[in-house]
C-alpha cells in the first residue's frame, strides 16, 4: 500500500494518529464506583484542566468504553494523575478487564470513590456536561476535592509509548503559572 503524502489534506486515520502521537501528554486513570460499589476505571490521556473559575476539567472517553456508562450513571469520578512509578497501573487500566483493581491499592475519596495510591495527585469531580466528540464523548467535570501532591515525577505518553522526565531546570514564574488557565497573552510566558 502506498502511503498518502504528508502535507496534503488527503490523510488516513493511521497518519492522523501518528501526527497526534507527537503531542506528549501525562496519563491519568479515571475511576468511579458502579451500583454494586465495585470500582471501575480506565487509563486516559485526553485529560486537561479547562477553567479556573469555576474549576472545571475535561476528559474524552471512547464511545465504546465500558467504564464510561458506569461513570455517567454515577455522575462523579476521580482523576488519578499517574507518576512514573505507575506504568503498570496505566497498562492495567488501559486494557479491558473485569477486575482491574485486583492488585491495586486504593482508598476512598470524600465522595467514596476510588483513589489510586501513589498517584501524583487526584481530583474528585462531578459531571457538569457531556458533549459529542465524534467517536468520543467530551466530558466536563467540576472539581470538588483535591488530593495531596506527591513529589514524584509524572508518567508521560508520547508516540504510543511511555516516557519519564526530569523536573525542568527553569520553571515558569509562579505568577505565570497562576495565570495559566486564563492566559490571554502571547507565547512568552515561559
CA distance 133 to 157: 22
Side by side, the strands of the sheet bearing 25-26 are 25-26, 156-158, 161-163
Four-CA torsion 17, 18, 23, 25, nearest 10 degrees: 60
CB of 48 to ligand FMN, least distance (A): 10
46 binds ligand FMN (CB under 6 A): yes
79 binds ligand FMN (CB under 6 A): no
Contact between 161 and 148 under an 8 Å Cβ cutoff? The reply is no
Binding segment for ligand FMN (CB under 6 A), chosen from 92-100, 108-116, 141-149, 166-174, is 92-100
Residues 152-181 close enough to bind ligand FMN by CB under 6 A? 157
Give whichever of 55 and 133 is closer to ligand FMN, judged by the CB atom.
133
Give whichever of 42 and 106 is closer to ligand FMN, judged by the CB atom.
42
CA distance 122 to 115: 7
90 binds ligand FMN (CB under 6 A): yes
Instruction: Determine the straight-line distance between the first and last CA of the chain, rounded to whole angstroms.
Output: 43
Near ligand FMN by CB under 6 A: residue from 33, 39, 42, 57:
42
77 binds ligand FMN (CB under 6 A): no
Amino acid at each position: 500500500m502506498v502511503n498518502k503524502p504528508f502535507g496534503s489534506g488527503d490523510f488516513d486515520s493511521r497518519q492522523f494518529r501518528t501526527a497526534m502521537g507527537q503531542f506528549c501528554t501525562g496519563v491519568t486513570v479515571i475511576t468511579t464506583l458502579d451500583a454494586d460499589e465495585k470500582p471501575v476505571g480506565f487509563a486516559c490521556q485526553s485529560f486537561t484542566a479547562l477553567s479556573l473559575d469555576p474549576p472545571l476539567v475535561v476528559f474524552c472517553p471512547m464511545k465504546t468504553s465500558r467504564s464510561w456508562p458506569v461513570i455517567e450513571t454515577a455522575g462523579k469520578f476521580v482523576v488519578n494523575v499517574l507518576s512514573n512509578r505507575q506504568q503498570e497501573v496505566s497498562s492495567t487500566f488501559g486494557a479491558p478487564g473485569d477486575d482491574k483493581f485486583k492488585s491495586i491499592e486504593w482508598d476512598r475519596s470524600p465522595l467514596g470513590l476510588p483513589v489510586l495510591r501513589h498517584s501524583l495527585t487526584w481530583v474528585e469531580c462531578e459531571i457538569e456536561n457531556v458533549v459529542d466528540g465524534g467517536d468520543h464523548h467530551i466530558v466536563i467535570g467540576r472539581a470538588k476535592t483535591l488530593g495531596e501532591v506527591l513529589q514524584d515525577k509524572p508518567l508521560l505518553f508520547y508516540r504510543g509509548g511511555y516516557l519519564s522526565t526530569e523536573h525542568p531546570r527553569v520553571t515558569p514564574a509562579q505568577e505565570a503559572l497562576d495565570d495559566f488557565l486564563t492566559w490571554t497573552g502571547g507565547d512568552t510566558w515561559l
